[in-house]
Structures are given as structure tokens and as C-alpha cells.
A and B are shown apart, each in its own frame.
Chain A
Amino acid sequence: MTNPPPASGASSGDLVKELTGLRGQVLGISESIVATTDGLLVASDTANVQPESLAALSAASLALGKRSAAEVGLGSLREVVTRCNGGYSVVLAVGEQALLVILGDEGLDLTALRREAPAVVERLGGLLS
């Protein structure tokens, strides 16, 4: 996975294009954001959620997931999935300094998301580097 050092030339439009593209590719994605691991919003494709709040909470949940994974010795963290009655929140690390958050409805195609996400994460990492 690409580590995103401080960004030098990425356009926020390119980041959002990746997010909207992913929404078009995977059934059930409703909103998504890119944030830093310390919880600051970088880019968003949202309609209903507060992206700044989502960025802060998701950074905390990713950090908690990483610590938990390390504590229980189950290997490195792949994703943090929160399943609710009305849908899903999925948090994925983008290198060491950023993260991708995806919100989806009850029908979110997790199989397709897991197929498509690695390439998107890599491209986001490249845009942020």
C-alpha cells in the first residue's frame, strides 16, 4: 500500500472523482469521504452526513481498530466495518496518514467493495502523495 506523504500536487477534484467513481461502481454506496488519520477532512462526496464529524469519528475508529488488531494478535487491520440496521460504515486506511470512509445502505455490495477498494485506495494514495 502506498504511504501518502504530505501531498504536493493533488487536486481535490481528482479525489472527489475517485469517490464518485466508486459510488457508481459499487451498489449501495451512498456517501464517502477521505480524511487524515488525525481526523481532518480532505475531500467528500456526501449529501446528508456532516463530513467533518464523520472524518473525526472514523479516524478514531480506525485507530481503535488498529490498536485492537495489534492487541489480539490477529494480524494487521484490513478494514473497520460497522454494521447497523440501516446500513454500513466501512473505514479503510490509505497509507499511514489518511483514510477512506464509505457509507452504504443495507444492500451494500461488500463483495464488490472489497474487489474495487484496493485499487481506489492505491489511486487515492497516489493522489495524496
Chain B
Amino acid sequence: MSDGTQQQPHRASPRNVPGLLLSLQQDRFSGAVSIAGSIGGTIHLHRGTIRAIETPGAPTAEALLLKSRRIGEPEWDAACTAAGPDGPLDTTLVDQGHISAAELEIVCVGALYDAAFVMALSTPDSWQVDREAPTPRLSHREGTDPRRLTEETSRRVRLLAKSLGSVREFGQERVRPSARATAGIGRLSARYRDILLSADGRRSPRDIAFALGRGVYPVLLDISRMKALQLIHSRSPRSLRPPRPALRPATPAAEPAAPPRPPTGGGLPRRTPADRRPESTG
């Protein structure tokens, strides 16, 4: 067993992240691998199996639980307090009756596979192995075999590529409902409806997943089906344009006291004595 605190070089330099994970599995490595790239992240391993992946590209188990309201924020805070800084948060959540052990396990495994899928959509610039990295508070306790994770990730990418083409590019596109979807939204399933209501033309599938507290892969799967049904449009992030006049009132109905002035020729807007309302005399 190679668990220890000293960093050791590996047999041969792996060519990619799956290769690295297999190498670490052979070493029964415990610690973390930090991946740098356009979608970076941290892969947490225990004795060679993968317990959790944290990446800005996919919601963590915590985000899934809170945003989907499976667990309320006060209950979450209370469980964190009861578990203490290094205590078993998963056991505490279950013991306090906020979630069943099976459901928590499903959420943790789902978040793990989802994060692996998202990270596979970008090419890593570099990676760093760290034996001392702290482990996340929620993780897949048994750990996942790296080979199985890689196979499932490849299967997901292949499946989506059939309908979307480049999954990597589509994952970055901004989506919005089509006129057809807007007209018939009442007849759609709740899952599709939620996605359509979140798809405001500014959000990517990843952003929608975070907004809904769902995985990125299931959201992309739904979007690919909705795209086939012509319920959703997408546009490249390269075509990002200001969605509306920049210096608009917040809501059309609102009557702003003093609309912001563009900094064109007149300098930055400034507060003047005239902006201040006289004090009420009762």
C-alpha cells in the first residue's frame, strides 16, 4: 500500500487523465489530483478509487441537495454544526432524518459521474497530485473504479454526440425556448418545463443544471431531445451580445427615480444635491 505523506513519482508519465487515474489506482493512492484547464477540477481518491470530483462545471452533491430542496438550508446548516468540522456529515444528515442513506448515496454517485462527464469535455492543461488535500464532506464512500468511470463517461459523450454533434461546443452554447415551446409549454412534462423556464438565452446547459439543482448530463440529454422536437434554440457563446439595452430600467413597469446616465462625454454619473430628496417633515 502506498498511502503515505510523501509524494512519489509514478512509473511512467501518464498521457491523459484516465491513464493517470489507472496509475494511481495501481498505487492505491489516497489524496487528490488537481486538474487545470478550461474546465478544471479536483479528483479525490481513496486507495485508488474515486470518491468525489469537484469542478466549477458541474454541481456538487451539496449543490444538488440544496438547490433541489431535498434538504433545506436551515437543516443543512444544523447538520454541519452537529457534525463538526471533521465529523461525518453524511451520517449526520441521515441520522437527523433529512435524507435516506440510499438517496444520499445516489446523489453523491450522480454528482461524481456528472463531474467526470463535464471535465471530459475539456482538454486539461496540466495536473498536480496532492496527498494532503482535504476530502470533501460528501462523497461516494465505497469509491468508484476509475476504469468504470471512464467507460461511463465515454458512453455518455458518444450518446449525446449522436444528436448534438460536438458535445463540447454544445455544452457552451446559450439556449432559449422556441416559439413552438412557448406556445405549448402547458402540455410539456415538468422536467422540460423547468428547463424551458430557465433557458433565458443567457444560460448554458451547465448554468441551467446549477439553477435547477440537476446534473449537467441529464439536462443536456433533455435539451438534446427538446432540440430534436424543435422546442429549444441555441447560439454560440461567441455571438454573445448585450441582451438588451445596457442602461435600461430594471423592470419596464418600474419607474426609476433617476435612470442611469451613459458615460458618454458627460463623465461618470455622480450624486448631486438635487438627487437627494428633502427630508420628510412628517
Contacts and interface: CB of A to CB of B under 8 A. Distances in A.
Contacts of A109: 40, 56
A27 B206 contact: yes
Contacts of A45: 242-243, 246
Interface residues of A, number: 49
Contacts of A4: 268
What is the interface of chain B mostly: helix, strand, loop, or mixed?
loop
A27 B40 CA distance: 10
A39 B257 CA distance: 14
A95 to B, nearest CB: 10
Given A12-B264, A27-B57, A28-B210, A52 B250 contact: yes
A128 interface: yes
A47 B200 contact: yes
A30, A106, A107, A112: residue with the most chain B Cβ atoms closer than 10 Å: A107
B58, B240, B246, B260: residue with the most chain A Cβ atoms closer than 10 Å: B246
B271 A38 contact: yes
A54 B232 CA distance: 31
B128 to A, nearest CB: 13
Contacts of B57: 27, 107
A125 to B, nearest CB: 11
Contacts of B271: 38-40
Interface in B255-277: 256, 260, 262-271
Contacts of A39: 271
A23 B240 contact: yes
Given A9-B265, A27-B57, A42-B260, A20 B242 contact: yes
Contacts of B63: 106-107
B246 A12 contact: yes
Contacts of A86: 66-67
A89 interface: no
Contacts of B246: 12-13, 15-16, 43-45
Interface string A1-45: 000111111111101110011011001101000001011111111
B158 to A, nearest CB: 24
For chain B, give the interface size range: 35 or more
A45 B243 CA distance: 8
A7 to B, nearest CB: 4
A44 B207 CA distance: 19
A108 B56 CA distance: 6
A106 B263 contact: no
B256 A42 contact: no
B30 interface: no
Contacts of A20: 240-242
A36 B243 CA distance: 22
6 smallest CB-CB distances across A and B, nearest first, come from A6-B267, A7-B263, A109-B56, A16-B246, A41-B260, A40-B269
6 contacts: A16-B242, A20-B240, A20-B242, A39-B271, A43-B246, A46-B250
Interface of B: 39-40, 55-60, 62-63, 66-67, 73, 76, 200, 202-203, 206-207, 210-211, 237-238, 240-243, 246-248, 250-251, 256, 260, 262-271
